[in-house]
Every structure is written in structure tokens, then in C-alpha cells.
Amino acid sequence: MTAGVSRAPFGTLPSGEAVEIVTLRTEGVEARVLTFGATLQALIVPDRAGALADILLGHDDLAGYIEHRGFFGATIGRYANRIAKGRFELDGTSHHVEPNDGANALHGGAEGFDQKVWHIAATGDAADPFVTLTRTSPDGEGGFPGTLNVSVTYRLRAGELEIAFEAESDRATIVNLTNHAFFNLGGAAEPTDILLHRIRIAAETYLPIDAGSIPEGEPTPVAGTPFDLREPQLIGARLRETHPQILRGRGYDHNYCLDGGVADAPRLAARVEDAQSGRVMELWTDQPGLQFYSGNFLNGTVAGKNGRAYRMGDAFCLEPQLYPDTPNRPDFPSARLDAGATYRHRSLYKFSTI
């Protein structure tokens, strides 16, 4: 694998906008990024024998991303996760984001950052393979206040992918960005069951949800529940239990309140191992929350890479972010971004083998 950065066409939207794919390569890792949705389209890493495989679910062509808004690998904004009833108040003014998940707004509402074409602002070289994508979200877009200038940088180092977000607004607003990669460490070409992946999450508490997946009550201790992942556990070990929160989410689809809250620098949040391939992924982040999703709503109706129908258990998501519905919960870490201030979010995905 030759280190470097390359660009190529990836198709054209019905609007006539061209979409590119940027390939980043370094020792042992390759990442492919689309300008559509600032999407991580592929992530290729070795197993214990050195065999390379793409570990992300997604699509082989642009049509797949256009026809199905599945968030595969996309940059999520302006607000990742859910806002109850699509409504929040900021400085005495009410704002409305169009609901797209029952009564609630999910991942930016009806049309989020994942459906926009981003601009390639900068790329690196063989010594420093990276791409920076930018876009300007106008005041009122999706119901959010303020003109927001946002960037996301994907950078490869040996055995590591860094994703770094920055944003600035010309007036007070809310911001919560993340990447929504669907991982299968066994490989995406012919996914094996991720229920045999072993996971650890560094969190003493999590947020129980109501029937609409909105947090209810306070952070709750994981001790004595299927949500206790402080020690490594198979993802599928307790998915069939009748715990009311497992039943409500059809599995794991909950925010973990990471130990230490908002951090000055990325710290270890989660570690996942696949014993069959030997691949290990560690997630390091400076965010206070981590949404762990066990792929519960993959139901075989969407065909992804290689024409394969994606089904429950084919992937998991680890989404570092602020807590869900934070704009309506003053007791949660704030999503407020004032004019002239800079939002920053930095996460590292580190790969090794066992």
C-alpha cells in the first residue's frame, strides 16, 4: 500500500453537482472519503495475518447513498442524535427542526449535513495523508439559527484514523457533530455476526430512553444491567434479555456518559475486538457521550456493498458526541456555540491485532 492522497470522480447528483472520492493511504490503512455527506466510504485495515479488508458498511456507488438515507459513514449535523419534538429554545427564541424520526428530529432533521456536497479545502501528501472538507450552512438551514462554517478533517497515521471537526457561527446556535460509521471488524464484503465482537466502554452511567428514544431521567449506573460494559463483553451476550431498556431500543441504541465528561484531549472511550480476524479498534475521543448502536434496525431491505442485504447484527456504531436532546436538557453538557467561539471535536480510531 503506497502512502499518499488521490482524487477521482464518484458520480453526479440529480442536481448536476459532481461528487468526488478522496483516497488516503498510509502504512497498513486506507480510507476513502466522499464529498457527498463528507462520508467515510471505506476503511481498509489488516487482520492478524496481514490480509486487508474494508470494515465499513456502505455503498459501492453514489446511487446507493442517494436512494437510501442510511447515514453509512456520514458526517452528521447540525445536531447528531435526537431533539425531542424537533423543538428547542435559545435565548428566549423557539426554533423548530423538521421531525424525521416519529415526533423527533434525528441527525439534523429532514435534510442534514449527510445529504450535502462538501468542498475539498485541502489535501495532504505521502508524508501526511489527509483531506479537509468544508461547507457553509446558512442561517435557518434545517431550522437552526446562525450561519455556520464547518470543517471536517480525515487524517491517516500508521494504524490510526483521526476525524476532527471545527465550526464557527455568526450568532448563538447549537452544534453537535459526529461520524456515523457502521463497523464490522470481520470485514464488510461478507459480514460475519458482530454479536461475537467483544466490546468495552469506559462509562459508569448511561441514559435510559423513552419510547421515542429521548433520554428520560438522569444518567443511570450501568452496574447490574446489560449496559455494564466496563469489562469486555460479547456484544450479543445480553441482547436477548428482557431488560426494559433493551426491549425499548431493540438492543443497544443508547448514550453512554463517558468517564471524565468533556475532555481537553482524546481519551480511551471504547475498545472492540474480533477474535476471528484478530482486528482490534480503539476509539479515543474528547466528547462526553458515546452512542452505542448494535445495528438493531438493519432489516435486510437495503442492499449495500457487493449487493449484500444488510441485516440486524451486521454492524455496530460508536458515535462520539454530546448527549441526545441536550438543547432541552440544561443539566447535560451544553451544545451552545456563541458567535466568535469555535466548536471542536476530535476522535481517533486506532487499529491493532490480537
Q: Which residue, 52, 55, 26, is CA-closest to 40?
A: 55
Q: What is the pLDDT of residues 281-308, one digit of tens each?
A: 999 999 999 999 999 999 999 999 999 9
Q: Which residue, 114, 184, 163, 170, is CA-closest to 287?
A: 163
Average confidence score pLDDT of the chain: 97
Q: For residue 90, name the pLDDT band (cuts at 50, 70, 90).
A: very high
Task: Say whether pLDDT at 189 is over 90.
Answer: no
Q: Quote the percentage of the chain above a pLDDT of 70.
A: 100
Q: What is the pLDDT of residues 244-281, one digit of tens each?
A: 999 999 999 999 999 999 999 999 999 999 999 999 99
Domains of the chain: 4-353 (2.70.98.10)
Q: Fill in the amino acid letter for 34.
A: L
**Active centre residues (catalytic):** 180, 319
* Cross-sheet strand order for the sheet of 253-258: 220-221, 203-207, 253-258, 289-293, 317-321
Q: What is the pLDDT of residues 100-123, one digit of tens each?
A: 999 999 999 999 999 999 999 999
User: What pLDDT does residue 176 have?
Assistant: 98
Task: State the pairing for strand pair 289-293/253-258.
Answer: antiparallel
User: What pLDDT does residue 27 have?
Assistant: 86
Q: For residue 28, name the pLDDT band (cuts at 50, 70, 90).
A: confident
User: What pLDDT does residue 178 have?
Assistant: 98
Q: What is the pLDDT of residues 36-50, one digit of tens each?
A: 999 999 999 999 999
User: What pLDDT does residue 86 have?
Assistant: 98
